[in-house]
Structure formats: C-alpha cells, structure tokens
Amino acid sequence: MTTPSNSTDTEPKKRFIAGAVCPACETIDTIRMWEVDGVPHRDCVKCGYGDTLNADGNSIPNELVTRVNVSALKKPKETTGQALQFFPNPKLKK
C-alpha cells in the first residue's frame, strides 16, 4: 500500500522555459525557472549556470569579493619604529 505524497514539498516546482537561451553556454531550451518566496530563480541543466531575477526580469549580478566588502579584514601588524643613523662616506669627495 502506498501513501499519497504530501502537497507541502520543500522543493519548489521547476519548469522549463520554451525557447529560452542560456546566457552562459548559449544552448536553447535548457533553462528552468522557479520561485522561492516570490523571488524568481533560473538555472541551466546543461552547464549549471544559475542566477536570481529582479521584478523586471533582469539578472541580479553577484557582488564580487573585494577587500572592501570582505567582513573579516585583517589589519596589518603594527611595527615599532626603528631609528637609523647614516654616516658620511669617507671615500666620497665633496
């Protein structure tokens, strides 16, 4: 005896978009779309490309990791100053 599946699946229903072209590998009919909490997502089943879309249907670019947006920046070690003394070169003629 089999039990009926619950309608509250944790995996959202993904659907293929007819005629859609993958922006990465440029193949047609390999793009799937789905929504999570009202935010549309898409991915390519051939190359694995995936991104999130905004309300206008444009791709939201991922922020590149830079030294500005990394939260765990390490400060350089503080070095103590060292006094240097320069002596005139006796072989140097003025």
Q: Mean pLDDT of all residues in the chain? A: 80
pLDDT digits (tens, 9 = 90+) for 48-67: 888 888 888 888 877 776 76
Whether residue 38 has pLDDT greater than 70: yes
Q: Is residue 22 part of a domain?
A: yes
Tokens of 86: 């320069």
Q: Is residue 90 part of a domain?
A: no
Q: Is residue 25 part of a domain?
A: yes
Domain hosting residue 24, numbered range:
15-52
Question: pLDDT value at position 60?
Answer: 81
Torsion angles phi and psi, residue 51, rounded to 5: -155, 175
In this prediction, residue 1 has a pLDDT band, given cuts at 50, 70 and 90, of: very low
In this prediction, residue 70 has a pLDDT band, given cuts at 50, 70 and 90, of: low
Angle 35-37-42 (CA atoms, 0-180°, nearest 5)? 25
Question: pLDDT value at position 67?
Answer: 67
Q: Is residue 69 part of a domain?
A: no
Q: Is residue 27 part of a domain?
A: yes
